């Protein structure tokens, strides 16, 4: 790890779950000897009136992080915490700052009204184009607790998108000393691009193929992380539904993304889209181009 990617950025303005996001990021940063920086943007995605400012942050890292009204989160003595308020829009600033960060952490998105719509678009834009992995901190239900135990789950497919997710998932499971659930979901039909038809594939023929594909994806990672217990799960279903189900038992779900910029969320895969808005635990999204 280089000096320039030792920072965990937490965006805490414009969407729900700021306190949970800060606490989650603080535990991760303190446990891995990283720096924590809280970033408050006065605009989520479009110009809005001035918002509440932070309390002043001690430059040498204090017990209390700068916070929005009602958010007082204490940390250990000497834990390095920085906080800044910006007039920039959250997606623009956090995407720019993510190029030199270890991770970006965001709170859960709201679902009601125009403000909730803006927050969802902002989060999708950040996840789509960030230069490092992004975590959206979600809990059990809209206002439920953020889980701190359970395995790490990772979605594995046959595309290069999942390689970064697999690497991140093994690292997270190893650091947390918990099992890793490798989920590979597959459909029971194949499409013929020439005839534009879909035909069912017998499960007895498809299952061995999918088992080999999953084994190939995990090949080498189990040797690199011998202390991680790996549980393989193959399911004939839609990946997003299987991973949403897994999120009810996991403490973290890791997925890849297809984001390459453009309109917010347009190139973010449907699986990662569903998870960042509906998962029952924090979601770590890793783009192929993002550093880790």
Model confidence over 61-118: pLDDT tens digits?
333 444 454 454 556 555 667 777 776 777 888 999 999 999 999 988 655 443 455 5
CB atoms within 10 A of CB 3: 7
**How far is it, in rounded angstroms, from Cα 48 to Cα 220?**
49
Question: What is the pLDDT, as a whole number, of residue 91?
Answer: 85
In whole angstroms, what separates CA 147 from the centre of its chain?
Answer: 14
Is the pLDDT score of 290 beyond 70?
Answer: no
Model confidence over 5-23: pLDDT tens digits?
889 999 886 566 888 898 8
List of residues 6+ apart from 211 with CB closer than 8 A: 234
Q: Would you state the torsion angle of the CA atoms of residues 159, 162, 163, 165, taken in this order, to the nearest 10 degrees?
A: 170
List of residues 6+ apart from 140 with CB closer than 8 A: 146, 147, 248, 280, 281
Confidence of residue 245 (pLDDT cuts 50, 70, 90): very high
Query: Which domains does the chain show, CATH number per domain?
Result: 3-137 (3.40.50.620), 152-286 (3.40.50.12370)
Rounded to two decimals, the pTM is: 0.81
Q: Which residue's structure tokens are 């800060």?
A: 22
Beta strand extents in 70-209 (DSSP E only): 81-89, 103-107, 134-137, 152-155, 180-185, 189-192, 197-200
Q: Is 196 left (phi over 0), alpha (psi -120 to 50) or beta?
A: left
Mean pLDDT throughout 44-59? 39
Strand pairing class (189-192; 197-200): antiparallel
Is the pLDDT score of 203 beyond 80?
Answer: no
Question: What is the pLDDT, as a whole number, of residue 233?
Answer: 92
Question: What is the pLDDT, as a whole number, of residue 58?
Answer: 35
Is the pLDDT score of 50 beyond 50?
Answer: no
CB atoms within 10 A of CB 74: 11
Could you tell me if 21 and 33 are in contact, meaning their C-beta atoms sit under 8 angstroms apart? no
Could you tell me if 154 and 254 are in contact, meaning their C-beta atoms sit under 8 angstroms apart? yes
Cα separations in angstroms, 232 against 135, 165, 210, 247: 23, 15, 11, 15
Which of 180-194, 208-222, 241-255, 276-290 tops mean pLDDT? 241-255
Model confidence over 177-194: pLDDT tens digits?
999 999 998 765 444 444
| Sign of the four-CA dihedral 235, 241, 247, 253 | positive
Question: What is the pLDDT, as a whole number, of residue 43?
Answer: 59
List of residues 6+ apart from 195 with CB closer than 8 A: none
**How far is it, in rounded angstroms, from Cα 50 to Cα 217?**
48
Is the pLDDT score of 244 beyond 80?
Answer: yes
**How far is it, in rounded angstroms, from Cα 228 to Cα 221?**
10
Confidence of residue 262 (pLDDT cuts 50, 70, 90): very low
Tokens of 75: 């940390």
């Amino acid at each position: 790890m280089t000096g320039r990617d030792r920072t965990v950025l937490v965006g805490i303005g414009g969407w729900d779950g700021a306190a949970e996001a800060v606490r989650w990021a603080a535990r991760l940063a303190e446990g891995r000897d990283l720096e924590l920086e809280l970033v408050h943007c006065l605009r989520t995605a479009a110009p809005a009136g001035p918002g509440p400012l932070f309390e002043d942050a001690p430059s040498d890292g204090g017990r209390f992080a700068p916070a929005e009204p009602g958010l007082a989160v204490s940390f250990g003595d000497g834990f390095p915490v920085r906080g800044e308020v910006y007039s920039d829009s959250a997606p623009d600033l956090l995407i720019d700052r993510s190029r030199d960060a270890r991770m970006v952490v965001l709170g859960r998105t709201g679902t009601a009204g125009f403000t909730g719509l803006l927050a969802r678009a902002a989060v999708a834009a950040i996840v789509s184009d960030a230069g490092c992995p992004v975590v959206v901190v979600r809990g059990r239900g809209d206002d439920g607790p953020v889980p701190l135990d359970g395995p790490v789950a990772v979605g594995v497919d046959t595309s290069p998108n999942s390689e970064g997710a697999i690497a991140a998932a093994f690292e997270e499971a190893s650091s947390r000393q918990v099992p890793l659930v490798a989920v590979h979901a597959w459909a029971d039909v194949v499409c013929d691009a020439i005839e534009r038809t879909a035909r069912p594939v017998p499960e007895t023929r498809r299952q061995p193929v999918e088992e080999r594909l999953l084994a190939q994806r995990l090949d080498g990672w189990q040797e690199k992380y011998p202390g991680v217990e790996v549980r393989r799960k193959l399911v004939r279903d839609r990946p997003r539904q299987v991973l949403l189900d897994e999120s009810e038992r996991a403490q973290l779900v890791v997925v890849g993304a297809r984001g390459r910029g453009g309109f917010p969320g347009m190139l973010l895969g449907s699986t990662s889209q569903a998870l960042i808005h509906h998962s029952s635990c924090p979601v770590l999204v890793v783009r192929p181009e993002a550093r880790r």
